[in-house]
Structure 1
Amino acid sequence: CRCPECGSIPLGSQDVDALVLNEEWLRQKLRMAFEINSRDGIDQVGQGIWRLGNSRSTPVILARNLNDLLRNPGLLEGLRVRDGSLRVITPRPVGLTTHPFAQDIEWLVLEERFAFYGGAISFIEPSDQRSAMLPHETADVRYGPFAVDFRSVKLPGHGHINLTEAQAAVFSALWSFKGEPMRAERIMAKAGLKSEKPIDVFKVKAKDKDKPGADLPLMAYRALVVTQRREGLYAMPCAYLESMVPH
Structure 2
Amino acid sequence: MAAHDAWALVCRLFAGGTPVLRAMLSPREAVALPVLGKAVKPTTVDQSFVLCPHCQQHRAQVWGDGRGGRMCRCPDCGQVAVEASDGAALILDEDWLRQKLRLALGIESRDGIDDLGDGVWRLGDARRSPVLLARDLTRVQQEPALLDRVRVAGGDIRVITPRPRTTRGSPFGAGVEWLAMEDRFAFYGGGISFLGKPGTEKNSPAADPTAAVYGPFSEDFRWVSPPDWTDGPIHCTEGQAAVFKSLWSFKGEPVSGERVMQRAGLDSDKPIDLFKVRTRDKGKPEAERPLAAYRSLVVTERREGLYSMPCAMGNSFINAKEQ
Q: Distance between the aligned counterparts of 1:228 and 1:173, measured in 2?
A: 17
Q: What is the aligned partner in structure 2 of residue 208 from structure 1?
A: 281
Q: Distance between the aligned counterparts of 2:97 and 2:236, measured in 1?
A: 20
Of 148, 161, 164, the residue aligned with 2:219 is: 148
Q: What is the aligned partner in structure 2 of residue 70 from structure 1?
A: 104
Deviations 1:125-171 (A, max 9, x none): xxxxx9xx753255422100111111111233122111111001000
Q: Against the structure 1 CA distance between its residues 211 and 98, is the aligned structure 2 distance closer, same or farther, given a 3 Å change threshold?
A: same
Q: What is the aligned partner in structure 1 of residue 249 from structure 2?
A: 176
Q: Distance between the aligned counterparts of 1:197 and 1:27, measured in 2?
A: 51
Q: Distance between the aligned counterparts of 1:193 and 1:172, measured in 2?
A: 12
Q: Distance between the aligned counterparts of 1:193 and 1:146, measured in 2?
A: 20
Letter in 2 for 1:34: A
Of 255, 260, 266, the residue aligned with 1:193 is: 266
Which range moves more in the overlay, 204-213 or 214-223?
204-213
Residue pair 1:174, 1:187 contacting (<8 A) in 2 also: yes
Give the Å deviation of 1:220. Answer: 0.4
Deviations 1:6-57 (A, max 9, x none): xxxxxxxxxxxxxx944xx249677x9436999xxx75xxxxxx3659xxxx
Q: What is the aligned partner in structure 2 of residue 84 from structure 1?
A: none
Residue pair 2:235, 2:286 contacting (<8 A) in 1 also: no
Q: Distance between the aligned counterparts of 2:191 and 2:269, measured in 1?
A: 36
Residue pair 1:183, 1:233 contacting (<8 A) in 2 also: yes
Q: Against the structure 1 CA distance between its residues 37 and 246, is the aligned structure 2 distance closer, same or farther, given a 3 Å change threshold?
A: closer
Q: Distance between the aligned counterparts of 1:91 and 1:146, measured in 2?
A: 29
* 1:34 correspondence with 2:30: yes
Q: What is the aligned partner in structure 2 of residue 13 from structure 1?
A: none
Q: Which has the higher contact order (CA 8 A, sep 6+)?
A: 1
Residue pair 1:27, 1:52 contacting (<8 A) in 2 also: no
Residue pair 1:101, 1:139 contacting (<8 A) in 2 also: no
Letter in 2 for 1:229: R
Q: TM-score, normalised by structure 2?
A: 0.43
Percent identity of equivalent pairs: 39
Q: Distance between the aligned counterparts of 1:202 and 1:142, measured in 2?
A: 22
Aligned residues: 175
Q: Distance between the aligned counterparts of 1:197 and 1:92, measured in 2?
A: 38
Q: Against the structure 1 CA distance between its residues 211 and 141, is the aligned structure 2 distance closer, same or farther, given a 3 Å change threshold?
A: same
Residue pair 1:150, 1:168 contacting (<8 A) in 2 also: yes
Letter in 2 for 1:67: L
Give the Å deviation of 1:192. Answer: 0.6
* 1:218 correspondence with 2:252: no
* 1:136 correspondence with 2:169: no
Which range moves more in the overlay, 236-245 or 198-207?
236-245
Structure 2 residue runs without a partner (length 5+): 1-15, 43-91, 108-159, 164-177, 194-200
Q: TM-score, normalised by structure 1?
A: 0.55
Of 90, 95, 98, the residue aligned with 2:179 is: 95
